[in-house]
Amino acid sequence: MLVVVGIAGGFTVSRLHGVFGSQSRPAYTSAEREEKRPHDPKHLVYEVFGPPGTVATISYFDADAEPRVVREATLPWSVEFPISEATAMGNVTAQGNTDSIGCRILVGDEVKDEKVRQGVSAFTFCVLKAA
């Protein structure tokens, strides 16, 4: 008896799947791919600057959003790398051994953020909110 009920229940469920259309799922994307045109990647530049002879500890996120630290960097300092269109943020921080330090973030030739700070062992940071 239990086997008959199990078979009848399975048959009923399979028929209901067909009635409600759960067997044929809609495609949400086109099977054809658009041909991607080659693009010129943007370049992200972090710059840290200060008075001559300034030595700084610099932290930043690279193109893969991995944190990097540069210790005892002599200023001016900069690093550049290509970024994808999906890159939406960047960050550079620096603390020097003098009373003035600045940072700048550029995407291409456009300055996205720039700050100069004053104070004992000055600390500064710049943030890229969207490339």
pTM score, two decimals? 0.68
With vertex at residue 14, the alpha carbon angle to CA 8 and CA 16, rounded to the nearest 5 degrees, is 100
β pairing state of 90-96 and 77-83? unpaired
46 forms beta bridges with 79, 105
In the chain, the N- to C-terminal Cα span, in Å, equals: 68
The residues facing 101 across adjacent strands are: 117
Specify whether the CB–CB gap between 122 and 75 falls below 8 A: no
Q: Which pLDDT does position 41 carry in this prediction?
A: 74
pLDDT digits (tens, 9 = 90+) for 59-98: 999 888 889 999 999 999 999 988 876 666 789 999 999 9
Domain boundaries, the chain: 42-128
**Is CATH 2.60.40.2880 what the domain over 42-128 is classified as, yes or no?**
yes
Where do we find the tokens 């005892």? 72
| Amino acid (1-letter code) at residue 23 | Q
